């Protein structure tokens, strides 16, 4: 198995363990972006846990901040903080809140969780990079439901005007938003055409296909003079069969039988209700 596939599997385990031991979280939202984050942090981003504020570091912003546990698992695996701290998630006094806090968690570049804010912030980071002639790139993940926010399209208008080819927006297109299907709430189709009309270079990819993600992210720039959006087709809840594409799991926690099934599917050990 590809080394990165093994990493992704480890991250999935850590996400599930962290959420179950912490007593709650958005499990399926975190599971849909595992391969994207793994490829970014272990092959693409120029980031160094020993110099987390280096001015030339690449920036990553998780605009869909409710999937913060996925980011925590990756940052811990990368060495930004001790993995044991994942065990504090959901406990009093933890730095690992339900939504990521840039003032508390090493490696977190923006406090997110209120949808529609991380993406405009990323556009600002990319503009600052151009103005300061810095070599860094900015990557951001937005949810497909999050793209219904007006602030997304305001920032999407702005980025091409400034030729922000140092900006890569990844849309986690899992076709669900919270407890329902995207099409039942506000359909986004034709999604790619909307971004094209706003002046973005658009690519579509299987968001769980590690070689395909590696290939597109490693093009520098993806399109000269234009910001790029990667519409990543993903499965909400990927890796836990009964959660995949079943909207009720957005908030719900597994019962004892479901915990057993998920542990077996992810390769975790379940002992007296505790995962390891």
Ligand X SMILES: Cc1ncc(C[n+]2csc(CCOP(=O)(O)OP(=O)(O)O)c2C)c(N)n1
Residues 214-273 that bind ligand X (CB under 6 A): 236, 250
Under rule CB under 6 A, how many of the chain's residues touch ligand X?
Answer: 18
Q: Does 145 bind Mg ion (CB under 5 A)?
A: yes
For residue 229, what is the DSSP state?
E
Distance CA 201, CA 226 (A): 6
Residue 216, judged by CB atoms within 10 A of its CB (0-12, 13-18, 19+), counts as buried
Side by side, which strands form the sheet with 138-143?
A: 59-62, 138-143, 167-173, 228-233, 201-206
Binders of ligand X in range 12-71 (CB under 6 A): 29, 64, 66-67
Phi, psi angles (nearest 5°) of residue 231: -85, 105
Q: Which helix (H) or strand (E) holds 11?
A: helix 3-22
Q: Is 143 in the site for Mg ion (CB under 5 A)?
A: yes
Q: Residue 39, SS3?
A: helix
From ligand X, Mg ion, none, interface partner of 66 (C-beta below 5 to 8 A by class):
ligand X
CB of 201 to ligand X, least distance (A): 22
C-beta closer to ligand X: residue 47 or 73: 73
Q: Which does 121 bind (CB under 5 to 8 A by kind): ligand X, Mg ion, none?
A: none
Binding region for Mg ion (CB under 5 A): 143-145, 174, 176-177
Binding region for ligand X (CB under 6 A): 29, 64, 66-67, 113-116, 143-146, 174, 176-178, 236, 250
């Amino acid at each position: 198995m590809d080394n990165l596939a093994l990493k992704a599997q480890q991250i999935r385990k850590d996400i599930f363990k962290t959420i179950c031991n912490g007593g709650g979280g958005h499990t399926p939202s975190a599971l849909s972006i595992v391969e994207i984050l793994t490829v970014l942090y272990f092959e693409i981003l120029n980031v160094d846990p020993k110099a987390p504020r280096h001015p030339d570091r690449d920036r990553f912003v998780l605009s869909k901040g409710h999937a913060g546990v996925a980011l925590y698992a990756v940052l811990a695996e990368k060495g930004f903080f001790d993995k044991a701290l994942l065990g504090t998630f959901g406990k009093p006094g933890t730095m690992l809140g339900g939504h990521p806090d840039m003032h508390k968690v090493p490696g977190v570049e923006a406090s997110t969780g209120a949808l529609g804010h991380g993406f405009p912030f990323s556009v600002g980071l990319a503009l600052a990079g151009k103005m300061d002639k810095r070599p860094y790139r900015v990557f951001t993940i937005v949810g497909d439901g999050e793209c219904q926010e007006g602030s997304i399209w305001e920032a999407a208008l702005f980025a091409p005007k400034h030729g922000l080819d140092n900006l890569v927006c990844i849309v986690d297109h899992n076709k669900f938003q919270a407890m329902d299907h995207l099409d039942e709430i506000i359909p986004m189709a034709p999604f790619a055409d909307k971004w094209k009309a706003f002046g973005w270079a658009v690519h579509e990819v299987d968001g769980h296909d590690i070689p395909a993600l590696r290939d597109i992210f490693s093009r520098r720039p993806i399109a000269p003079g234009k910001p790029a959006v990667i519409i990543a087709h993903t499965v909400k809840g990927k890796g836990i069969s009964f959660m995949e594409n079943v909207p009720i799991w957005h908030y719900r926690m597994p019962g004892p039988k479901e915990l057993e099934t998920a542990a077996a599917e992810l390769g975790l050990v379940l002992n007296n209700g505790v995962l390891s």
